[in-house]
Amino acid sequence: MALSAAVVLLGAPVASFAGSAYFIMDAKSGAVLASSNADDLNHPASLTKMMTLYMTFEAIHRGKLGWNSKIAVSRNAATKPPTKLGLKAGGTVTVREAVDGMIIKSANDAAAAMAEALGGNESNFARMMTQKAREIGMRRTVFMNASGLPNMQQVTTARDMSTLAVALINNYPMEYRLFSQTDFSYRGSRIRGHNNLMYRYEGMDGIKTGYTNASGFNLVSAVRQGNRRVIGVVMGGATARGRDALMASLLDRNMPKATSSSSSRLIASVGSAKTKQVELASAADNVAVDVDTQTTATTRKRIETAPVSAPLAYAAVPNVTVPMDRPVAMDEILNAGKPATGRWQVQIAATPTAQAAKDLLSAAQSKAGNALANASPYTEAVGTGSNTVYRARFVGFGSRDDANSACAALKRNDFDCMLLPSKG
């Protein structure tokens, strides 16, 4: 029973306090189940270590590191403030010790040592982290260090953190299991973690907590119940207990809404060292266009940053040879064999099944209303066999302005979207 209760960094954020936000996503279909301020900038705190760990796993898979490799500990790493393992300058730490330390202890010294091992220095590694964030579809995140220690320019969003969580689960499933550990042995001591909700919430198997004065209490959670898989993000909690209670309540309300699918693959995985990358918006057959939408003003205190260049998101499709010139229309969604005429299209997702695409398009139509009145739902299959994904699109927009208005309406109703010029 579930518990009830090369990137250029520009500008300097000036606000001192982040606001509250949450984002609950069906990881099988990509549907947003609940959200509040999901695209507002907040400070990640130790959620940052999720990306440090992602890049560590990537380095292991590429043969740059082994689990027993020894990493040198610099004075910079050793002098990081708590929480920490207590690494000594001039000493070493194994990759496995550092990984366990980051996951369970949220060790800042281990994160800094790993950053120096992979990036030469922490600043360079932070730039690598931000670039990786763009590659996997995190559009607004900027990393400035490997640990999440306070830096006003280090920002993310609840939506971006859900993207990172899914990328970890999809791209490094064996390593992801380490996030379910409740404690670990470190040089004669038993160290217990503090992801307390994970220890008592049914089906929760990760992934990370975070806290600084500026960020408030943050949490990213992944829950599997039966064939349902949900990712939850809560940011800016006033207390750890309040944050956990909100997450539990959101999961309790939204878990039953999630798709029940036997597929182990999650829809939102975006980019991997082990996968062939296919552009979510176009699979190289269209040119994506930025959407001119404005962020809704709020009365909360906001974090301000200059924009960061953001390449397109990617959907991970293992070892797929993508057919570029033969889109397949799904009869149950659109009877015509090709997209309706019109100069512009809007894509909202790429799903593992045609039915999931149909469900998302239907839900989007019911939410966006008149903005989609003159558009038609359409899917095209990309890939073959079990590796096929289905793009969910609305087609037939006569102008970019019409498509942009539809996209803005979709975003207001918690759907992602991307503008594309029609082919031909």
Query: Which one, of 408, 414, 406, 413, lies nearest residue 377 by Cα?
Result: 406
Rounding to the nearest 10 degrees, give the CA dihedral for residues 175, 179, 183, 184: 20
Of the residues 29, 35, 106, 282, only one is catalytic, namely 106
Distance in angstroms (rounded) separating the CA atoms of residues 233 and 45: 13
Query: CB of 169 within 8 A of CB of 11?
Result: no
106 counts as catalytic: yes
Catalytic residue among 49, 84, 132, 208: 49
- The H or E element that residue 165 is part of is helix 158-171
Cα gap 113→105, rounded to integer Å: 15
358 tagged catalytic: no
* Cα–Cα distance, 358 to 258 (Å, whole number): 15
- State yes or no: is 249 an active-site residue: no
Q: Return the half-sphere exposure (C-beta side, CA atoms, 13 A cut-off) of residue 407.
A: 26
Considering the candidates 20, 35, 46, 74, report the single residue annotated as catalytic. Answer: 46
Helix-helix angle 122-135:108-119, to 10 degrees:
80
Assess whether the previous peptide bond of 267 is cis (omega < 30° from 0): no
- 187-226 burial, b at 16+ Cβ within 10 Å, e below that, comes to eeeebebebebbeebebbbbbbbbbbebbbbbbbbbbbbe
Query: Which tokens is 311 given?
Result: 């390449």
**Which residues does the annotation mark as catalytic?**
46, 49, 106
